[in-house]
Structure 1
Amino acid sequence: MEHEDMDALLSDDQLAGLGGGRLAYVKPMRSEEVNRLFPQAPAMQPGLKLFALLAADGSPIAVTQSRDAALANALENELELASLH
């Protein structure tokens, strides 16, 4: 793969279409960050370690208190999980 290919960016629509719209990832986050992705979420105690399940384009799907619960939610919704580094 050429360096130029690695620098190419995908649009939100292209990201959303990855995996036929069935691709998601789990992102660790702090409770202070939750309202940015989940504006409807209730106020939470600061400093909690949480896990967000996000679609390939970054759209929020769910937030949980454990990584295992986020993974279970992905399986329940028949989503393919991507590993991000």
Structure 2
Amino acid sequence: MKNSTPGYKNNVQKGDHSVAVDIRHLTDNQLKSLGMAQMAYVKSVVVDGEAAFAIHAADGTPMALAGDKATAFAAIIQQEMLPTLVH
């Protein structure tokens, strides 16, 4: 049974059954990888004196550059990921 309390427990598929995971007890590495495949963030940068927008994976790994914020967000959405803006 899935707990519906936000931020408390999630169910994780393990083979043919679900296992409840208390997210308050994640390790540092588990927390770092949370959302890795689903989220990317965009931040403004300067490259060769020109303004650009860098796209990074949730762990900070650089993935791409875009000339404007709308293009960066569109590229992330096209990959079925959730874009997040970092200030």
> Higher helix proportion, which one?
1
Highest RCO, 1 vs 2 (Cα 8 Å, sep ≥ 6)? 1
Is the radius of gyration larger for structure 1 or structure 2?
2
CA contact (8 A) 1:19 1:80 kept: no
Give 5+ residue unaligned stretches, structure 1: 1-9, 32-45
RMSD (Å), alpha carbons: 1.9
Change (3 A) 1:59 1:47: same
> Higher strand proportion, which one?
2
Question: For residues 74 and 67 of structure 2, what CA distance do their matches in structure 1 show?
Answer: 12
TM normalised by structure 2 equals 0.58
TM normalised by structure 1 equals 0.60
Structure 1 runs of 4+ aligned residues shifted over 4 Å read none
Give 5+ residue unaligned stretches, structure 2: 1-27
Aligned residues: 60
Give the structure 2 partner of residue 28 of structure 1: 44
Identical aligned residues as a percent: 32
